[in-house]
């Protein structure tokens, strides 16, 4: 997972917590609270994550590879690119058929 604050958003922090990356989630919420100390929602979310971290066995490794989120995002981007190329190919094929109906 990247340490770039550009990606530090409440959505990413929530996703990290859902995936079991509680330490990373807490880090992101703490960063966001430094930017907006009066934000009650961020404070509550950080408190919730810290409560989960303090529970037995919750702070330990979940068995999920550390780079799972990055791998999922990489797969998602690859699928988007593949889908875009497929659509372009289909459009090209349809255009060829319109101009040359005998082409298969």
* Whole-model pTM over 0.75: no
pLDDT digit string, tens, across residues 15-39: 888 888 899 999 999 999 999 999 9
Which position has the token pair 């992101």?
28
pLDDT digit string, tens, across residues 54-81: 987 644 445 455 567 777 777 788 788 8
- d(C-alpha 11, C-alpha 69), whole Å: 13
CB 9 within 8 A of CB 2: no
- d(C-alpha 21, C-alpha 11), whole Å: 13
The pLDDT value recorded for residue 80 is: 85
Please give the structure tokens belonging to residue 81. Answer: 């690119």
């Amino acid at each position: 997972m990247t340490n770039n604050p550009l990606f530090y958003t409440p959505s990413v922090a929530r996703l990290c917590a859902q995936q079991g990356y509680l330490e990373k989630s807490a880090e992101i919420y703490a960063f966001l609270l430094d930017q907006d100390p009066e934000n009650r929602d961020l404070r509550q979310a950080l408190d919730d994550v810290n409560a989960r971290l303090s529970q037995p066995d919750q702070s330990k490794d979940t068995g999920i590879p550390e780079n799972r989120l990055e791998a999922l995002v990489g797969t998602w981007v690859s699928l988007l690119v593949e889908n875009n190329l497929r659509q372009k190919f289909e459009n090209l094929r349809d255009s060829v058929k319109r101009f040359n109906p005998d082409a298969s």
